[in-house]
Chains A and B, each alone.
Chain A
Amino acid sequence: MSGSPKADSRPLSPHLQVWRFHATMLASITHRFTGMGLYGGTLLIAIWLVALAGGPEMYALVESIAFSIPGQILLFLWAFAVLFHFANGIRHLIWDGPGLGFSPKVASQVSIFNYAFALVGAIALMAAAILS
């Protein structure tokens, strides 16, 4: 250890408040938030599978929670999170691989598309589930 670990005075990246609000910035924040949300979502999917292996009574309990109103809201949020993170993740891969889509105009348009895709997709999935 070289003295206090907090004594590090290397340059920092610009703080949040110096950025003008724009769609790409919001998409970046949303990507991180949905990623963190999906971390918890995977735990719930694991619980569903453990209950399935645990037998009919355990499964019935998990099923009743999942299909309750709070459960349905959670499922909708999960669907939105997974679709947004998926679409925006493809954008990240295109940024890193072919290196396309960096111009501010395209980056903004793609950001807005990703929100629309996730919202419409989540509504479609929930509608398909309710109607089936």
Chain B
Amino acid sequence: MSDSQYVTPTKITRGLGASKTGTSHHIRQRVSALALLVLVPWFLFSVMKAALGGYADALAWVSAPLNATLLILTAGAACYHMRLGMQAVIEDYIGKPATRAALLILNTFFTAGIFAAVMMSVLSIWTGR
């Protein structure tokens, strides 16, 4: 790499263009937003009643099959939307390649972990185990 006389102009420009994946990122962000457009209002009104009634009410709320299903869908859409959004933030502000790559990987693991935790909690409550 130090012998720049052997590096062709093509080699210098390679990797500096668009990543060619921006459109799919944009569409995924919007499609998950459309899902949340329905799921978030349901969650807001529904969770308030459940959380204010104490342990028994909250447990009964999650145990209802429709609520359990909608909770898992909400967590899925939210975690996916969050992952895409935080990815854009990391790519915008973190310039150092190693830090950027580490944070992007951490972002994926973190959001996947939250989704798994929500799903396991909902399923264990729903099955009563």
Contact = CB atoms under 8 A, between A and B. Distances in A.
A52 interface: yes
Interface in A29-57: 32, 35-36, 38-39, 42-43, 45-46, 48-50, 52-53, 56
Contacts of A60: 55
A46 B85 contact: no
A128 B48 contact: yes
B64 interface: no
Given A52-B62, A89-B33, A93-B33, A1 B1 contact: yes
Interface SS of A by simple majority: helix
Interface in B30-50: 30, 33-34, 36-37, 40-41, 44, 47-48
Contacts, number: 92
A120 B54 CA distance: 26
Interface SS of B by simple majority: helix
B59 interface: yes
B127 to A, nearest CB: 10
A100 to B, nearest CB: 15
A68 interface: no
A26 interface: no
Contacts of A11: none
A77 interface: no
| Size range of the chain A interface in the assembly | 35 or more
B70 interface: no
Contacts of A39: 82, 85-86
Nearest to B4: A3
Contacts of B54: 63
Contacts of A96: 30
Given A82-B44, A90-B37, A53 B16 contact: no
B85 A52 contact: no
Given A42-B114, A46-B118, A52 B125 contact: yes
Contacts of B47: 45
Contacts of A3: 1, 4, 7, 12
Instruction: Count chain B CB atoms within 10 A of each CB in A48, A49, A59, A86 and give the residue with the most.
Output: A49
